[in-house]
């Protein structure tokens, strides 16, 4: 398998040329003194080294060894503790953290690029710090000042890790029926009792302590999701002076044996009268947890993107080296027995499909991260606008990135032919690893329901109109640019299609309660394709004037043309499916399935 090399040129192109991140950072007071182009480039270059030299080399060995559970103790594969130590020594866990508690305060636009590199190099490893980052975000947003001071500095440093404990054996997505209980104690703490499953990083040997964010219900809590509270429960109790004390009533009952991400410990956690502290308000834990979950959902989407990039890098190297058959145009390398397979139209179709989805996804992740930065550091109406955009785009990023992540890794495997099915080439591991991304943090079907239900139908399309207005503004600004017409005109057509379909679903939902669910997945995919078209049009608008100066820009334009010609036309079929209604789904009696 090819050695991973971070796509720094592509990342810098998006950050500095397409989205002009430094201009945004300069006008946001919290970022003006910390984030600039020079700093961003240095951070990306340094993470590229860590990803290539430290994380990538233990990816396959970690998959083959997996995690170990022995009498409640979880150990990670060989090399993982050392790699984690290197990660922490570099201060990477503090990158986007609150400076008041030891974070660097860097923007998410930069953090998203760093996350992609880590995920490309080693998804299993990435899950440990990503969960910690999300836990820090929830604590910083909702916990008391005392809890922040006590826990955040060590979590940013990586000395302590974080975990998110939601799912129970009987309750997956429906968190309203969880059974974990929280009993108030005289000292202001709570006694937490219950069991959780599928807890990523619930236990491991990478850090001195693990800080669990646990959903539980008080004895007098209302039924359903309105009765859920959030609690901070450390694996090891922390003394008043900040030192570690005795073991809390937290234990790992087992770890899962999974299809992929085998070096990531997925744990069954037991809380037996464990001491915990309330985060946020009583019975409002789900809202507090969603601060973390929304962060993780973009992070999971980036996992799909990272796996796609890793698969593409190996596929393109293989396609250039593997010789088989002759080009339809005649021998390209007559001195050899055959030509490299990259000359064949179908192989080029596969490689370009990967490259187009990766480029569109990387641009959209940067775009979503931009809105996250404005939502976090902006003020007034701008902040509200950004929060609405984040709400709308998060389910698209999580689901579309990961659906395309599986598609891209399968394509990369296909480029290898029979060798793609063999372990030592690495492609089959990527297929197994990325598969979970469509499932955890809310399955992609749930994301689609969220997009069409809560984020579109529920507000009459108000959030959608913000996105549509942003795309329309770009179209209007470039309507007189003849050189860009090949992108602007079809983008305008697709935006109109998406508007019509959105309006149709909103209208159908007034009389048919099944309309949103019936349309949801196809609608999300339609939205994703149009969003990628917008991203590629923006990239082309920057690259076109420079095609004579640099092959990189020529490549960007050519991939954009491929996307518009060969991938974007799928929107017509998706739109037809969306407006087909729910009848063919709901008319079939259960017993006929």
566-586 residue pLDDT tens? 999 999 999 999 999 999 999
Radius of gyration of the chain (CA): 24
| Nearest Cα to Cα of residue 253 among 309, 203, 301, 205 | 203
pLDDT of residue 33: 87
- pLDDT of residue 425 exceeding 90, the answer is yes
| Mean pLDDT computed over 323-331 | 91
- pLDDT of residue 295 exceeding 80, the answer is no
| Mean pLDDT computed over 140-156 | 97
pLDDT interval class at 173 (50, 70, 90): low
| Nearest Cα to Cα of residue 392 among 492, 498, 286, 476 | 498
CA separation for the pair 289, 300 (Å, rounded): 16
CA separation for the pair 74, 114 (Å, rounded): 27
C-alpha angle with apex 305: 444 to 174, nearest 5 degrees?
25
The lowest-confidence range among 136-140, 292-296, 346-350, 576-580 is 292-296
pLDDT interval class at 448 (50, 70, 90): very high
Please, what is the average pLDDT of the chain? 96
| Mean pLDDT computed over 66-95 | 97
DSSP class per residue in 255-282? E---SS-TTS-EEEEEEEEEEEEEESST
| Helices marked H in 332-436 | 345-377, 380-415, 427-435
pLDDT of residue 290: 77
- Helix or strand holding residue 497 (H, E): helix 485-508
pLDDT of residue 174: 67
Contact predicate 173/446, CB 8 Å? yes
Catalytically annotated residue among 256, 296, 441, 494 = 441
| Nearest Cα to Cα of residue 532 among 302, 306, 360, 366 | 360
Per-residue pLDDT tens digits for 370-380: 999 999 999 99
Q: Residues 583, 584, 586, 591: what is their CA dihedral angle, to the nearest 10 degrees?
A: 150
Q: Residues 462, 463, 465, 469: what is their CA dihedral angle, to the nearest 10 degrees?
A: 140
Provide the β-strand partners of residue 254: 268
The dihedral of CA 272, 278, 283, 287: what is its sign? negative
pLDDT of residue 172: 64
CA separation for the pair 302, 399 (Å, rounded): 10
| Mean pLDDT computed over 497-511 | 98
| Nearest Cα to Cα of residue 511 among 581, 585, 456, 584 | 581
Contacts of 372 (CB under 8 A, 6+ apart): 108, 298, 386, 390
Taking phi first (over 0 means left), then psi (-120 to 50 degrees means alpha), and beta for anything else, what does residue 417 get? left
- Helix or strand holding residue 578 (H, E): helix 570-578
Verify whether residue 441 is a known catalytic residue: yes
- pLDDT of residue 203 exceeding 90, the answer is yes
| Mean pLDDT computed over 318-331 | 92
Q: Pairing state of beta strands 209-216 and 160-165?
A: parallel
- pLDDT of residue 445 exceeding 80, the answer is yes
pLDDT of residue 469: 98
pLDDT of residue 346: 97
pLDDT interval class at 419 (50, 70, 90): very high
- Helix or strand holding residue 129 (H, E): helix 123-142
pLDDT of residue 289: 79
Per-residue pLDDT tens digits for 241-250: 999 999 999 9
Say which DSSP state 35 is in.
Answer: -
The dihedral of CA 60, 61, 65, 67: what is its sign? negative
What is the pTM assigned to this prediction?
Answer: 0.96
pLDDT of residue 22: 94
C-alpha angle with apex 14: 13 to 19, nearest 5 degrees?
120
């Amino acid at each position: 398998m090819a050695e991973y090399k971070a796509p720094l040129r592509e990342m810098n192109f998006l950050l500095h040329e397409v989205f002009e991140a430094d201009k945004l950072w300069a006008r946001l007071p919290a970022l003006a003194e910390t984030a600039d182009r020079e700093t961003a480039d240095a951070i990306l270059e340094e993470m590229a080294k860590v990803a290539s030299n430290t994380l990538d080399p233990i990816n396959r060995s970690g998959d083959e060894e997996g995690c170990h559970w022995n009498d409640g103790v979880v150990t990670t594969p060989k090399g993982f503790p050392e790699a984690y130590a290197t990660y922490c020594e570099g201060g990477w866990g503090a990158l986007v953290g609150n400076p008041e508690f030891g974070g660097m305060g860097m923007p998410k636009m930069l953090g998203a690029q760093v996350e992609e590199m880590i995920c490309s190099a080693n998804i299993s490893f990435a899950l440990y710090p990503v969960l910690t980052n999300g836990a820090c975000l929830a604590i910083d947003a909702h916990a008391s000042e005392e809890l922040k001071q006590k826990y955040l500095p060590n979590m940013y440093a990586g000395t302590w890790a974080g975990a998110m404990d939601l799912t129970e054996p009987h309750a997956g997505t429906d968190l309203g029926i969880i059974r974990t209980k929280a009993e108030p104690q005289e000292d202001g703490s709570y006694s937490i009792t219950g069991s959780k499953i599928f807890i990523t990083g619930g236990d491991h040997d990478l850090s001195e302590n693990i800080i669990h964010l646990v959903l539980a219900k008080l004895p007098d809590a209302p039924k359903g999701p309105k009765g859920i509270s959030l609690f901070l429960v450390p694996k090891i109790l922390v003394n008043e002076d900040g030192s570690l004390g005795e073991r809390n009533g937290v234990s790992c009952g087992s770890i899962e044996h999974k299809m992929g991400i085998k070096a990531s410990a997925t744990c069954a956690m037991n809380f037996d009268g464990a001491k915990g502290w309330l985060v946020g308000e009583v019975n409002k834990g789900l809202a507090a947890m969603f601060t973390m979950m929304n962060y993780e959902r973009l992070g999971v989407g980036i996992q799909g993107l990272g796996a796609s990039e890793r698969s593409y890098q190996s596929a393109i190297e293989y396609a250039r080296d593997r010789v088989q058959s002759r080009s339809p145009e005649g021998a390209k390398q007559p001195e050899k027995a055959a030509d490299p397979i990259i000359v064949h139209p179908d192989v080029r179709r596969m490689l370009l499909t990967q490259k187009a989805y990766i480029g569109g996804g990387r641009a959209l992740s940067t775009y979503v991260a931009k809105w996250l930065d404005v939502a976090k550091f902006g003020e007034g109406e701008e902040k509200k606008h950004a929060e609405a955009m984040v709400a709308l785009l998060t389910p698209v990023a999580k689901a579309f990135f990961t659906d395309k992540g599986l598609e891209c890794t399968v394509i990369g495997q296909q480029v290898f032919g029979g060798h793609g099915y063999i372990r030592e080439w690495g492609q089959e591991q990527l297929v197994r690893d990325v598969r979970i991304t469509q499932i955890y943090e809310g399955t992609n079907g749930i994301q689609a329901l969220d997009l069409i239900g809560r984020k579109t139908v529920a507000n009459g399309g108000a959030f959608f109109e913000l996105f549509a207005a942003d795309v329309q503004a770009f179209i209007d600004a470039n309507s007189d640019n003849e050189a860009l017409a090949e992108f602007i005109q079809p983008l305008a057509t697709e935006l109109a299609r998406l508007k019509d379909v959105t309006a149709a679903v909103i209208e159908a939902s007034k009389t048919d309660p099944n309309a949103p669910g019936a349309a949801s997945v196809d609608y999300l995919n339609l939205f994703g394709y149009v969003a990628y078209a917008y991203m590629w049009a923006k990239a082309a608008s920057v690259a076109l004037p420079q095609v004579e100066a640099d092959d990189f820009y020529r490549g960007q334009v050519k991939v954009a043309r491929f996307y518009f010609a060969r991938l974007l036309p799928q929107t017509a079929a998706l739109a037809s499916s969306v407006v087909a209604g729910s009848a063919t789904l709901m008319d079939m009696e259960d017993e006929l399935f």
